[in-house]
Amino acid sequence: MKLFKMRGGVHPEARKADSSERPIRILPLPPLLHVPLQQHIGAPAKPVVRVGDKVLAGQLVGVGQGHVSAPVHAPTSGTVVAIGDHPAPHPSGLSAATVTIAPDGEGRWFEYEVPADPFALAPDDIAARAGAAGIVGLGGAAFPSSVKLDASRQSGVDTLVINGGECEPYLTCDDRIMRERASEIVTGIRLIQHAVGATRALVGIEDNKPEALAAMRAAAAATDVQIRAVPAMYPMGWEKQMIHALLGREVPAEGRSADIGVLVHNVATAWAVQQAVCQGRPLVSRIVTVSGGAVVAPCNLEVPIGAPVQALFDVCGGFRTTPARLVLGGPMMGQQIARTSVPVVKGTSGVLALTQAEIGLTRPAPCIRCSTCVRACPVGLLPLEIAARVRSDDLAGAVALGLKDCIGCGSCSYVCPSGIPLVHFFNYAKGDLAAQARSKAKQETTRKLAAERSARIERIAREREEAAAARKAAKAAKEAAARAAATTEAAA
Amino acid sequence: MIAALTSLTVLGTSLGLILGLAARFFKVEGNPLVEEIEALLPGTQCGQCGYPGCTGAAQALANGNAPLTLCPPGGRAVVAALAARLGMEADLSGVEDAGPRIAEVREELCIGCTRCYKVCPTDAVLGAAKHIHAVFSEACTACGSCVDVCPTEAILLRPLAPTLQSWGWGKPGLQPLAIAQGMAA
């Protein structure tokens, strides 16, 4: 089997063995579940329950609003005790609208209809069921899956790529799910393939997961799904890198994989699709890796959405030392969080408690223009040049050098011998660009409002003048009529 | 003699005709630069620059009579855009840019006089006589016109608090990144 040579990339120490050899455990239900209404890219869901309502596991608590959105379901049966703001799993530490549920411990499920033969369903029905089950990309980006499935069916993709790369250090949730639930994943892959009408399905798994490869090969033996080993390197799990490794096709700059006829989904997303379509179970839990040097017993847990991060650490034996940094996701692209009260959401692949030695902060030194970052960049950009432009507030120059194509993988920051936070510069610049776009959109709105107001003021002035003229004319006509009457009277 | 007269007359008439037609068909309505500059300005006609609306300001900028930093609501973004369009070096150090702000009515001081409601260039104030006024944040440009007319100083411009959608990373300094302290929930 031919694999294609890739550009850039780094080889960070994997540190996966801490958690990869322990089977997935189920997290005991915490006393409260905080289910945010926005756990996906797009518009937040709108709550459809009220405080005091009893809900069943899998029952709808928030409906998606607009085209790009996803519904939210109750992770277990219980009572809605609050609907309001709760700290969001976000580096800003800001709060987000959240439905808080007190579990009753019974775990009774809301019964959804299950088709006798899921492969007899119409393709758009599968996408609709995935959408109704609140499935989003479980690799971390949390993009609503049904939107991707619909768009891919309409644009006619020919190849389905399933991403089992899991290139982030520490994370082993996809590894474990492939080892333990391979047959469900393969069914999910075939359902997605059926939903988009792809002619072939490929699964790319990094070659540092031989057990997962073997399990997936065994499960896919009787099907058309092809399992491929890809070299372990970071960022192999970036979908464009995975496509290039498996197919040798390159996604154009600022383009999407659908532009070259490929749809990419994560292995855990395939599992969620199988659960939704074959079992009638919406996405209300996910596998989360708990790891990091500060954790006593790292492992993988199946966690109900909304469980506070602290509960995960408690089950893993608590902290060995005070963690220097808490991260949601992987250490390369994850989000730093300030407190452990934030909930696990659909996009949370891992929770890491890292020690001072692991984060290895150093004081940034000046750039020595060694161009190590250029060799590491998987997109083929010039990180040092872009960062220099961002530092001197030349955003236009940074965009011209391809800032918008940066995927924020952090390979450049990882290899920089001067310890320059390159990816931080790019994230800052992207945020600034987004703020500029927002203010431009607002300016368009206010410009329209100002024009409407001046038109209204003009119209009112004109109408007033016209009314005055009409009154004057009416008065003149009346006087003329009176005069005429007087003359006729006099003549008579 | 007659040949010279005829040829000059024909030449003069035809050239005159061509010039006359060109003047009609290629007529330039005002300075095109003014329109371009006006498109870069916020367009709310708030008048804080001292010119009668954004068109007046654009004319002054096109004639070179006004500094690039004349538009307070536009902030740094407008200065940079103007500098790029006019090919001038902009000195951003003197520009105050407090970030996005909006007007806020302090309800305990508002007497419902409707003065702010009447001057707002974008209809961002909601109110009626003897009722407390409120501001639509989506429509407010923080031009400050309402602050100037409020008889009870009930209106303040306050910075817009970041939301999960608008929050962004700060610019990294060359100091080591701050390490999250206080892990307790």
- For residue B12, the distance in angstroms to the closest alpha carbon of chain A comes to 48
Query: Strand B125-126 to strand A350-354: parallel, antiparallel, or no bridges (unpaired)?
Result: unpaired
Q: Do A340 and B185 touch (CB under 8 A)?
A: yes
Residues 405-424 on A with a CB inside 8 Å of B are 421, 424
- Percent of chain B past pLDDT 90, that is, above it, reads 24
End-to-end, the C-alpha distance of chain A in Å comes to 119
Provide the residue type at B10 as one letter.
Answer: V
A321 and chain B in contact, CB less than 8 A: no
Chain B residues within 8 A of A442 when measuring between CB atoms: 138, 141
Which residue of chain B is at minimal alpha-carbon distance from A325?
B180
Nearest residue to A10 (alpha-carbon basis) of A420, A411, A334: A411
For the domain made up of B32-94, give the CATH fold. 3-methyladenine DNA Glycosylase II; Chain A, domain 3 (1.10.15)
Chain A residues within 8 A of B174 when measuring between CB atoms: 363-364
Which residue of chain A is at minimal alpha-carbon distance from B41?
A443
- For residue B46, the distance in angstroms to the closest alpha carbon of chain A comes to 9
- Identify the band that residue B177 occupies on the pLDDT scale cut at 50, 70 and 90: very low
Mean of the per-residue pLDDT values of chain B: 83
B26 and chain A in contact, CB less than 8 A: no
Chain B residues within 8 A of A94 when measuring between CB atoms: 162-164, 167
Q: Do B124 and A340 touch (CB under 8 A)?
A: no
The pLDDT of residue B182 is: 36
Considering only CB atoms, A450 lies closest to which of B44, B175, B179, namely B44
Is it the case that residue B184 has pLDDT exceeding 50? no
B177 and chain A in contact, CB less than 8 A: yes
The pLDDT of residue B95 is: 66
Backbone phi, psi, residue A292, to 5°: 115, 155
**Distance from C-alpha of A456 to C-alpha of A448, rounded to nearest angstrom:** 12
Segments making up each domain of chain B, as ranges = 32-94, 101-159
pLDDT in tens, A144-196: 999 999 999 888 899 999 999 999 999 999 999 999 999 999 999 999 999 99
B12 and chain A in contact, CB less than 8 A: no
The pLDDT of residue B176 is: 44
The pLDDT of residue A360 is: 80
- For residue B20, the distance in angstroms to the closest alpha carbon of chain A comes to 36
Place of tokens 């369903």: A121
Length of chain B in residues, anyone? Answer: 185
Segment B128-144 shows an average pLDDT of 88
pLDDT in tens, B24-58: 888 877 778 888 888 888 888 888 888 888 888 99
The pLDDT of residue B138 is: 86
Is it the case that residue B180 has pLDDT exceeding 60? no
Q: Are A292 and A319 in contact (CB under 8 A)?
A: no
- Identify the band that residue B93 occupies on the pLDDT scale cut at 50, 70 and 90: low
The pLDDT of residue B98 is: 65
The pLDDT of residue A132 is: 94
Handedness of CA B85, B86, B91, B94 (dihedral sign): negative
**Distance from C-alpha of B126 to C-alpha of A160, rounded to nearest angstrom:** 53
B32-94 matches B101-159 in fold: no
- Identify the band that residue B178 occupies on the pLDDT scale cut at 50, 70 and 90: very low
The SS3 of residue A327 is strand
Chain A residues within 8 A of B122 when measuring between CB atoms: 446, 449-450, 453
Extract the tokens encoding B98: 């407090």
Average pLDDT along chain A, 492 residues, taken 10 residues at a time: 75 92 94 93 92 95 91 96 94 93 93 91 92 92 90 90 94 95 96 93 94 95 93 91 90 86 95 95 95 94 96 94 94 92 94 91 87 94 95 90 93 93 94 88 87 92 95 93 86 72
Considering only CB atoms, A449 lies closest to which of B77, B122, B182, namely B122
Q: Do B172 and A326 touch (CB under 8 A)?
A: no
Nearest residue to B46 (alpha-carbon basis) of B143, B155, B141: B143
Handedness of CA B42, B47, B51, B56 (dihedral sign): positive
- What CATH number labels A365-480? 1.10.1060
Which residue of chain B is at minimal alpha-carbon distance from A393?
B171
- What CATH number labels B101-159? 3.30.70.20
